[in-house]
Amino acid sequence: MKKLIYIAAFIFCAFQSTNAQSNNSVKPDSLYKDFKTEFMWEAKVKISGMINVGESKRGVRRVIPITGGTFSGPKIKGVVLPGGEDWQLVRPDGDTELNARYLMKTDDGYTFQVLNQALIHVDAATKSFYCKSVLDFEVPEKSPYSYLNHAIFLGTLRMPALKPGEEPYVIIGVYKVL
């Protein structure tokens, strides 16, 4: 009997999927044209000297310690706590994958985790710089910022020219996908 129920469920799901695909009049190009974003904050993330781990089976591995910083947006502001790291992989094709994990603390005392995965690509012909990321936040549920647990966030990354004596940092823009 269980086997018959599983078979019936499989046929039903397969029929629903086929039926939905055949009745789907939405063109793939139109699915994403209405994506909108909302600016959340900009962070100035301080970093220290790169640790070059070296050649690995996937490319060149390096780690950049995160030493602090600040962030500010229309609904939130605070500091980047020291102690995080950005694990980077320079792939054989020349692109760099970033995988950063760090903590931020709001001015009103809430600490939350940031996972930021990015891709850097520099076009060899035009020297154009591309860097976009996807961010995930783990925020205390009973906080004014728990809404950050329930959305997709995209990011940008800029590496400004440093003034003499200035500590190294990057600028990260964070945008909520609506």
- In tens, the pLDDT along 83-122 reads 999 999 999 999 999 999 999 999 999 999 999 999 999 9
pTM listed for this prediction: 0.80
d(CA 110, CA 175): 20
Length of the chain: 178
- The pLDDT confidence band at residue 33, using thresholds 50, 70 and 90, is confident
Residue 20's pLDDT is 47
* 139 against 23, higher pLDDT: 139
Residue 4's pLDDT is 43
3-state secondary structure 59-105: CEEEEEEEEEEEEECCCCEEEECCCEEEEEEECCCCCEEEEEEEEEE
Please check whether residue 118 is in contact with residue 132, taking contact to mean a CB–CB distance below 8 angstroms: yes
- The pLDDT confidence band at residue 35, using thresholds 50, 70 and 90, is confident
Residue 98 identity (one-letter amino acid): L
- The pLDDT confidence band at residue 34, using thresholds 50, 70 and 90, is confident
Six-digit token string for 169: 């940092």
